[in-house]
Structure 1
Amino acid sequence: MESVLVVVMGVAGAGKSTVAVEVARRVGGVFAEGDDFHSPENVAAMAAGRALTDWDRWPWLGSIRDWLAAQHAAGRPAVVSCSALARVYRDLLRDAGPVLFVHLTGSPELLAERIGGRAGHFMKADMLASQLATLEPLGPDEPGITIDVAAGLERIVDAAVGYLDGAADQASVVPNARPSK
């Protein structure tokens, strides 16, 4: 697959990193963990239970955009895990090139259960409500697919890669257009 840029997005507990690693492997791309782009101040704030503001998020999102743009310029397929909760955040990420989104979604109960089962992560279950309140699902004009995480990892990755295979062909012709199914 040519230099497709993929953002695996969603709220905490959706399994963004796990899915993104597997999608990157399957498409022969490089993977980046979106959380690694956070400043130490952002990580400390979230670990203390404070939701990030847009002011906190813009530099983080800009760093992810720059990484995606560098991969695109090098002709490498790239997959990054990033919450990308609001459309304006996704608009910024799309400045990197032809970005496709894989939006992982699930019930608040399942997501909270998953967050509670993680060890050593700075995002705590009590911050899920603020992420769900901020979340703007993909719009009909945004290039992406929404997948329920209750489906299980293999089915999620199969659906994502199937979408990307079809979308990559069309994205080079019509950037940022949602491929028809």
Structure 2
Amino acid sequence: MTENSDTPDGTAPGTTGPGATAPGPQPEPIRFFGTTWVAHDGNYGLRRAGAAVGSLVAAVASCFVLRFAYQGLEIADVGSFVGLLVVLMFAICSAVAFRKTWEGFSRRPADPAREDTLRGLKTVGFIGSLLAYFFRTFTEAPGEKLRRAEYEAAQVRFAKRRSSRTGNPSARKAAKAKKPRRK
């Protein structure tokens, strides 16, 4: 969420010219959706359908790749114990990755350092992350609810800050000084 930062072309928000934006907070773009989630415009529905199909196709293709890897282990005759460990590892990592990805759509992580340590686990369980993305696209753009709440809160803070600063404070002080006091 950007609240009054410079625009990419170097102009301040609210100024005229190319790339000028309205003053105040700007919505945070979501991957594959940009800022179309704000007003559900710009082929938002098609983007959601495309994201759902794309994540499901990627998950299915990933399952085939893992199947070929497992068949390679069988060909190498490493034993049933190693095969069982590989299957358990991918199942557990996928379950954890699904849960963490799903939670990431509704709230920001409390400890970003902990999330960085889980990055490897989520990479191994990439199928879980793809499936979480697939299921979330049925209700919204993944992360839309969180970003909408943050964006609306930023707009309220901006409006409150803006309304409390109307007028020139030094002019108010001068007007108070000119009024005679009653005794």
In the superposition, the TM-score normalised over structure 2's length comes to 0.23
The structure in which a higher percent of residues are strand is: 1
Bigger relative contact order, structure 1 or 2 (CA pairs below 8 A, ≥6 apart): 1
The structure in which a higher percent of residues are helix is: 2
